Amino acid sequence: MANLASDQLLFQWSTISLDGAPVQASNGVPLQPDFALDQAPAFDALFVCGSNPIPPRIDPRCLNWLRQRARQSTVLGGICTGSYWLARAGLLNGYRCTLHWEDTERLLTDFPEIIVSKRIYEIDRDRYTCSGGIAPVDLMVALIDLRTGSHEIAAKVSELMVCERIRSTQDPQRIPLRQQLGTSQPKLTEVVTLMENNLEEPLSKEELAHFIQVSVRQLERLFQEHLKSTPNAYYLELRLRRARQLLLGSEQSIIDVAAACGFVSVTHFTHRYRDYFGITPGRERRIVQPPNNSVAAARTS
């Protein structure tokens, strides 16, 4: 897009995989890389394209290759969970970074020394990272501005991509809770925040009502009026969705996932999970195969 917007060749890009063989994207689309690791030429920047869930094991050959490129002063970037790969290679130590909000806790747990922000993207010296979704577009627009020194080209790229505005690194990943809920009712926002912050040890209806200073009956009316649900059902949904994130995006055992989301036993957790998602947690974990990750490389002309 930058080449189109400027009517000149500013950037070139290639894709790289472990052995040069085709890789499969998370949506099932096969991709044919341009190079294998040992055949890849020098690049100005390398971006690790992440996948969901984060694979339980990352091939050490990829990690060693990334370390080698870092020693050669190559700029390194992580797209979504690609940041986790850089962290695993020890290449984010001392850097500020970001990744998809669903995977932030995993990154902080595995690498507590890393500085992780909640922003949509981070540019910290020679490390470029961003969250998922459309955040890579925001990062690339910022990098076009940075690399070309032309805000006009960056703005034109954003316009060609039909972006409403150019988001900055200061923009948060998640939309405000009131927008998620579709209401600005302050008591409802307050109680849902309480729920989200207390998944491991769920609060009772009575405790929730007490904390937001309403009666239990008023609490139930709030949920019925604004969410067409009950406090217990909504709370359970939050816990189950968090459990699914941990189940598919971490290596925690099912016992630990159940405990982290406030379930008293694996049996109880399994029944609730199957009722909601239509599949048991053990079976879903087994059938979800993480796709092969690839590395995208860019060369500025």
Q: What is the pLDDT of residues 187-237, one digit of tens each?
A: 998 999 999 999 999 999 999 999 999 999 999 999 999 888 999 999 999
Name which residue leads in pLDDT, 242 or 299.
242
CA pair distance 221, 139, nearest whole angstrom: 43
Residue 287 — pLDDT band, cuts 50, 70, 90?
A: confident
- HSE value, Cβ hemisphere, 13 Å, CA-based, for 271: 5
Contact indicator for 98, 130 with CB cutoff of 8 Å? yes
With a cut of 80, say whether residue 254 has pLDDT above it.
yes
Domains of the chain: residue spans and CATH: 2-173+291-300 (3.40.50.880), 177-287 (1.10.10.60)
- Of 117, 238, 92, 95, whose CA–CA distance to 173 is shortest? 117
Helix, strand, or coil (residue 297): strand
- Provide the mean pLDDT of the chain: 87
pLDDT of residue 173: 64
**% the chain with pLDDT above 70:** 89
Distance in angstroms between the alpha carbons of the first and the last residue of the chain: 14
Which two tokens mark 289? Answer: 């195969």
- pTM, 2 dp: 0.67
With a cut of 70, say whether residue 178 has pLDDT above it.
no
With a cut of 50, say whether residue 292 has pLDDT above it.
no
pLDDT of residue 250: 76
Mean pLDDT of 41-52: 90
pLDDT, one tens digit per residue, over 74-96 is: 999 999 999 999 999 999 999 99
Q: Kindly report the CA angle at 262 between 270 and 236, in degrees rounded to 5?
A: 70
